[in-house]
A and B are shown apart, each in its own frame.
Chain A
Amino acid sequence: AQSVAQPEDQVNVAEGNPLTVKCTYSVSGNPYLFWYVQYPNRGLQFLLKYITGDNLVKGSYGFEAEFNKSQTSFHLKKPSALVSDSALYFCAVRVDSNYQLIWGAGTKLIIKP
């Protein structure tokens, strides 16, 4: 079965420190990988994606993620966290031309001043 795992329900980081939100996946076929962010009482906002090409992708708000095929991971990173980064982060994957997304459970990111 195809799946996405976000092993941490919550990640706590001090402002100014680097942050990592983890995502691993299990699919058969070529993965298309996505990160979305959801601020309180808001819809989902697209952050970044990996489809092909450079394994390191850069997205909105200074976020980046690295596709690691051997580890089947797509961790979200940011060099210096801001309090305003506090939100719920979702990793999602789909396979090739199948448009349905498989979603992780979400990780709550808390950035403390």
Chain B
Amino acid sequence: SAVISQKPSRDICQRGTSLTIQCQVDSQVTMMFWYRQQPGQSLTLIATANQGSEATYESGFVIDKFPISRPNLTFSTLTVSNMSPEDSSIYLCSVENRVEETQYFGPGTRLLVL
């Protein structure tokens, strides 16, 4: 498995501002993923972030709105830019353990935009 931490765990932000979410893993991983989840609902993949390459964004998500950094094999950040109330959600990072062929998730960041 993997131990994954996210910062902040929650935040309340004003519209028009930006928030950067950090994801730290206790081991080196090639593949990291960023998801969005409305409370009680399913997960929506925002992007796949592999170290050494540009993030790959899913339909409906763009780099200008959700820039991602992946500077090394244990860390990634997701920025939610120019926030609006519609961005209020839970943001989750996950990592792929290639040996176990399993994704493991961080605890999530709960974002409320006013």
Interface of A toward B, CB cutoff 8 Å = 32, 34, 36, 41-46, 49, 51, 88, 90, 99-101, 103-106, 108
Contacts and interface: CB of A to CB of B under 8 A. Distances in A.
Contacts of A101: 45, 103
Contacts of A99: 31, 48, 96, 103
Interface residues of B, number: 21
Interface in B57-114: 92, 94, 96, 101-108, 110
Interface string B28-42: 000100000000111
Contacts, number: 46
B1 A105 contact: no
A99 to B, nearest CB: 5
B43 interface: yes
Contacts of B110: 41
24 contacts: A32-B101, A34-B102, A34-B103, A42-B107, A44-B92, A44-B94, A44-B105, A46-B102, A46-B103, A46-B104, A49-B101, A49-B102, A88-B40, A90-B42, A99-B48, A99-B96, A99-B103, A100-B48, A103-B43, A104-B42, A105-B42, A106-B40, A106-B41, A106-B42
